[in-house]
Amino acid sequence: MTVVFWVVAGLTAAFTAVRALGVERGTPMVQLVSYTPYAAVGGLAAGGILLAAGATTPGLVCLACGLVLAALVAPRLVPRRAAGEGVRLRVMAANLLFGRGGTAALVEQVKVDDVDVLALQELTAEGLAALEEAGIDALLPHRVVSPAPGGGGAGLFSRHPIDGPGVRTLELVPMTQPWATVLVPGAGPVVVESAHPYPPRPGRVDVWAANLAAQPVPDPDGPPRVLLGDFNATLDHAPLRRLLRAGYRDAAAVRGRGLRPTWPYRIVTLPFWTPPVTLDHVLADRRIGVREFDTRRTANSDHRAVVAELILQPSPA
């Protein structure tokens, strides 16, 4: 049993080192790092079990690793001060699972949440038609869309007028990201983009990393940015943390809800069960305040939608 105890301690220590140093590379480490919150709990539990079994040194190793991982994860559960006064902008992002989530229920949720800007991923022509039939144009009349078969399509819908719309095509894979400058009454312009990097599938992790590295970053001399959608990454992945350091804040983490899982939800698209993780995010420029964050069910999709209330600086009088 001593060998087993040390194997458990060694694997826990190796995982902790990879996550703490941000050096996950390839399969399976990139995929496993998604489950860091579970590994934190597992490390603490394993430490307690090993200590109870008399394996003092392996048990202390596991406990120490569990504490390190918990320290890395815990700040996402601590709400920071909510944004004060300013101009409200409510945003929502939803992955439609190859267009299937483009339903009247989604449009109704947009109405209930009083959404100003809606970012959609995996938008197909059929999904767009269903949204139009459900009345999306009456709520959000301004749009930039790039529907496509499979998971590469996307869309951006706005209550407010938009300027300079465009579609970013990510290299190596046919993934599109519509963006536009939203002209919010009472505030300056804000650039909003629907994000959807390629998932870290075995053998294509380099594509995933390149797509995350290609995401736009805030320009201190330009309008503030909001990047929202299905990032196919958690805050435990180094590429997403680098994106945050470039000038964004994760809205969920700001409000102490950074561990609220968004995938998989209800519908399982993998051949095996996996614990739910947080792949969908609202990244707000640090010049933008965050007042609220929550998740919503998306009918016929394997992702939950994310909703945030952002606060913009008023335009100079």
Vertex 43 angle, CA 24 and 37, to 5°: 60
Q: Which of 197, 187, 184 is closest to 85 using CA atoms?
A: 187
* pLDDT (tens place) for every residue of the chain, 317 residues total: 799 999 999 999 999 999 999 999 999 999 999 999 999 999 999 999 999 999 999 999 999 999 999 999 999 999 998 778 899 999 999 999 999 998 999 999 999 999 999 999 999 999 999 999 999 999 999 999 999 999 999 999 999 999 988 999 998 888 999 999 999 999 989 999 999 999 999 999 999 999 999 999 999 999 999 999 999 999 999 999 999 999 999 999 999 999 999 999 877 677 778 899 999 999 999 999 999 999 999 999 999 999 999 999 998 76
Tokens 């290299």 belong to residue: 171
Residue 83: what pLDDT?
Answer: 79
Contact assessment for residue 219 and residue 212, using Cβ atoms and an 8 Å cutoff: no
Please report, as a single letter, which amino acid is at residue 63.
L
The count of residues in the chain is 317
Interaxial angle between packed helices 2-21 and 36-52, expressed in degrees from 0 to 180 and rounded to the nearest 10: 150
Share in percent of the chain as helix, strand, coil (round to 5): 35, 25, 40
Residue 96: what pLDDT?
Answer: 97
- Domains of the chain (ranges plus CATH)? 2-77 (no CATH), 87-312 (3.60.10.10)
